[in-house]
Amino acid sequence: MNQPAEHHPDRRFIEAVRAAAAVDPLPTVRQLATNVGLSPEDIIHYVLVQWATSGAEALMATSPLALRQLRDAAEAGDIEKVRGIVSWLLEGQ
């Protein structure tokens, strides 16, 4: 993927990942683990499993990022990207 950063199809996702790097989730994870009597690793595993196995409905309800990407692709007239996003959203069903 040698595309310029401003033209990368996942540019907004990449920017969101980089912005999230400024936030340390471990204090919250550790506190939650302490509160419920689990290890931080158990909490992290649970969060990743829930995210990775969410169906399209859960993704749309909890992750407006996918909807923003869909809107942006539609506004840009990028039908292939719209198809790709819709296909990805429906994979969980």
pLDDT in tens, the chain (93 residues): 455 566 788 888 888 889 999 999 999 999 999 999 999 999 999 988 877 776 655 555 655 677 888 889 999 999 999 988 888 877 755
Whether 2 is covered by a domain: the verdict is no
**Is residue 21 domain-resident?**
yes
| Domain of residue 52, residue span | 10-90
Task: Please state, in angstroms and rounded to a whole number, the distance separating the CA atoms of residues 30 and 42.
Answer: 10
Q: Would you say residue 3 lies in a domain? A: no
Q: 22: helix, coil or strand?
A: coil
Q: Is residue 5 part of a domain?
A: no
Is residue 4 included in any domain, yes or no? no
| Cβ atoms within 10 Å, residue 35 | 8
Number of independent structural domains in the chain: 1
Indicate whether 23 belongs to any domain.
yes
The residue behind tokens 């993704």 is 59
